[in-house]
Amino acid sequence: MLKGKNIVLGVTGGIAVYKAVDIVSRLKKLGANINVIMTNSSTKFVTPLTFQSMSQNHVTVDMFEEPKQWEIEHISLASKADIFLIAPATANIIGKVANGIADDMLSTTIMATKARVVFAPAMNTNMYVNPIFKQNVEKLKSLGYEFISPASGRLACGDYGEGKLADPVDIVEYVVNIFNNNELEGKKVLITAGPTIEPLDPVRYMTNFSSGKMGYALAEEAKRRGGEVVLITGPTSLTPPSGVSVKKVNTTREMYKAIEDEFDTCDVLIKSAAPLDYRPESVSDQKIKKSDDDLCVRFVRNPDIVAHFGNIKKHQLVVGFAAETQNILENAKKKIKSKNLDFIVANDVTSENAGFRTDNNTATIINKNGEVKGLPNMSKADLSKVILDEIGSLLRR
What single-letter DSSP state applies at residue 60?
Answer: B
287 known ligand binder: yes
Count of alpha carbons within 13 angstroms of residue 23, beta-carbon side: 29
313 known ligand binder: no
- Residue 45: CB atoms within 10 Å: 18
What is the distance between the alpha carbons of residues 347 and 322, in angstroms, rounded to a whole number? 6
Q: 273 with 194: CB under 8 angstroms? A: yes
277 known ligand binder: yes
Alpha carbon separation from 384 to 130, 141, 215, 227, 363 (Å, rounded) = 27, 16, 8, 14, 11
What is the distance between the alpha carbons of residues 15 and 181, in angstroms, rounded to a whole number? 32
Give the catalytic positions in this structure.
Answer: 157
391 known ligand binder: no
What is the distance between the alpha carbons of residues 10 and 112, in angstroms, rounded to a whole number? 14
Radius of gyration of the chain (CA): 24
339 known ligand binder: yes
209 known ligand binder: no
Q: 85 with 170: CB under 8 angstroms? A: no
Cα 167 to chain centroid distance, Å, stands at: 21
Nearest to 39 by CA among 59, 19, 68: 59
15 known ligand binder: no
What is the distance between the alpha carbons of residues 138 and 147, in angstroms, rounded to a whole number? 10
Q: 36 with 59: CB under 8 angstroms? A: yes
Q: 165 with 16: CB under 8 angstroms? A: yes
Asked, as a colleague might, if the bond just before 235 is cis with ω within 30 of 0, I would say no
171 known ligand binder: no
Give the orientation angle of helix 168-180 with respect to helix 17-29, to 10 degrees. Answer: 40
297 known ligand binder: no
Q: How many residues does the chain have?
A: 397
Binding site, residues? 277, 287, 303-306, 321, 335, 339
Binding-site positions for CTP read 277, 287, 303-306, 321, 335, 339
